[in-house]
């Protein structure tokens, strides 16, 4: 009788972990793309009339942290998962601060800003949930 957990072969568990880390990377890429759109809009490079330099600067910092988190997903476990968790947590905090400034009337108060920030917050939360799932604990290079 085999002592493998959940009755799966080591190769199958390794493939599941490989797929899981790529899902995390996919979410990080999507989050970065949404932030790049916000940055381009807030620096006036994509759509006119939505320029807000302070928002663009804050979004640039969040994007840089997410890019670092994405790059660190190629480090050995458990650091890959920790990096993705930290980056997305920072992103959630940053978006919540941004939404709070919008509510106070400090930040940009347009439908486009609210929609993009809402979409970003949803993808950050979903990405964090995927990252925290047990199957992502070990990355693709982990021993089975």
Q: Which residue has the higher pLDDT, 134 or 67?
A: 67
Nearest to 88 by CA among 114, 67, 118: 67
pLDDT-derived band at 119 (thresholds 50, 70, 90) equals very high
Q: Are 73 and 32 in contact (CB under 8 A)?
A: no
Q: Are 95 and 121 in contact (CB under 8 A)?
A: yes
Q: Which residue has the higher pLDDT, 18 or 11?
A: 18
pLDDT tens digit sequence for 49-77 = 999 999 999 999 999 999 999 999 999 98
pLDDT of 131 strictly over 50? yes
3-state DSSP of 100-132: HHHHHCCCCCCHHHHHHHHHHHHHHHHHHHHHH
Taking the CA atoms of 116, 20, 90 and 53 in sequence, report the sign of the dihedral they define.
negative
Q: What pLDDT shows up at residue 9?
A: 57
Is-above-0.75 flag for pTM? Answer: yes
pLDDT-derived band at 109 (thresholds 50, 70, 90) equals confident
Q: What pLDDT shows up at residue 37?
A: 96
């Amino acid at each position: 009788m085999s002592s493998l957990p959940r009755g799966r072969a080591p190769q199958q568990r390794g493939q599941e972990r490989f797929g899981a880390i790529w899902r995390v990377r996919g979410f990080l890429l999507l989050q970065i793309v949404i932030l790049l759109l916000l940055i381009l809009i807030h620096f006036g490079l994509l759509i006119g009339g939505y320029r807000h330099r302070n928002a663009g600067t804050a979004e640039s910092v969040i994007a840089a942290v997410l890019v670092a988190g994405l790059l660190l997903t190629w480090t050995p476990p458990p650091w890959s998962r920790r990096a993705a968790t930290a980056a997305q947590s920072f992103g959630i905090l940053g978006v919540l601060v941004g939404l709070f400034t919008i509510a106070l009337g400090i930040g940009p108060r347009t439908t486009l800003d609210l929609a993009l920030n809402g979409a970003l917050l949803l993808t950050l939360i979903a990405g964090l949930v995927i990252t925290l799932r047990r199957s992502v604990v070990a990355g693709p290079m982990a021993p089975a």
